[in-house]
Structure 1
C-alpha cells in the first residue's frame, strides 16, 4: 500500500505526475498571489523547475517562492519551497524552448525570460485510497491511516 513508500518513492511519483500535467501555481513569498505556470524539467538539473515568463512578470524580480501542484486526477498534491532566479544559460533556454512556449510570446524569444525555481524543500501527498477506504467513504466509517495515502517531507524532489 502507499503508506510504505519511502520519501524518495513519493518524490519520484511527484516528478512523474508533474511530467503528465506540467502546471503549478507559483508565487514569490512577498504577499502577491501565485499564478499558473507551465513547468519545464531538465533531467540534468534535479531539484529545479523552469518556467518561462514575460520580463515584467511578477516573479521576474526573483526571490523566495512557493509553488503548489495538484495532479490531474486530484490524487497527488505538492507544496514546494525554494528560490526563483533568472536562468542565464542560453543553452538551457534554447533546450527548453518549444512551440507551446512560443505560442505565448508573439515576438518570440526576445520577449521571454526563463526563470529557475530551485526547490529547497517539499511536502508531498499521494491520495491513493484503498478499496476498503473507498467503501467506507461511500457507506460511512472511519478511514484508517493504512487505507488512505502517503505523505512525505523531503529536502529535494530528485
Structure 2
C-alpha cells in the first residue's frame, strides 16, 4: 500500500479539527474480538497528533489495549459543521505524574474524586499512525442545496475536503 508523507499543514488541520471537536468515540477490541467504543475527552493534541486522555488504571480499555497490540481507532464528529476525523493509532498507558499535573482540570474530579493523587488515575497516550478527515467548507444551506441538485442531476455533490494523512 502506497502512503503519502504528511505535511505540517495536514497535521495542523487534523490537530485543529480534533481540538475543536474534542469528544471522540475510542474503539478497542475486547477478549471475544468485539469492537467496543466509548466516549472520551481529548485533553491535549501534540504537534505530531499524539492525543492524551485521562482514564482509570483498572478500566477494561486499558486491558484491551495491552492485550490487542495497542491498536485503537477514534472517531471525532462535528455534525453541525460537517467535520469528521477518523484516527487509527497505537495506545499505551502512561503513569507520568508531571503530565497529569499539566493536564489536570477541575472537571476531571467528577471521575476521580481523590483528585490528581487518585490511585486509579492514569494517562492514555495515543500515537496517530493514520488519520482521515472530511471537512465541508460550505454552510449548511449551501450543502443542502448541493444535495438537492445532486438528487435532481444524479451527480454526487462536492461536499468539501477528504484527505488521508499518514504519520
The answer for unaligned runs of 5 or more in structure 1 is: 1-5
Count of residues paired in the alignment: 149
- After TM superposition, give the deviation of residue 53 of structure 1 in Å: 1.2
Matches within 5 A, 1:29-44: 29-30=29-30, 31-43=34-46
Distance 1:7 1:107, change over 3 A: same
Quick one: higher RCO (CA 8 Å, sep 6+), 1 or 2?
1
Q: Name 2:123's counterpart in structure 1.
A: 114
- After TM superposition, give the deviation of residue 113 of structure 1 in Å: 1.4
Give the structure-1-normalised TM-score: 0.78
CA distance in 2, matches of 1:71, 1:7: 23
* Alignment partner of 1:47 is 2:36: no
Instruction: Say what the alpha-carbon RMSD is for the aligned residues.
Output: 2.7
Q: Name 1:22's counterpart in structure 2.
A: 22
Give the structure-2-normalised TM-score: 0.74
- Secondary structure of the 2:84 match is strand
Q: 2:96·2:123 contact (CA, 8 Å) conserved in 1? A: no
The answer for unaligned runs of 5 or more in structure 2 is: 1-5
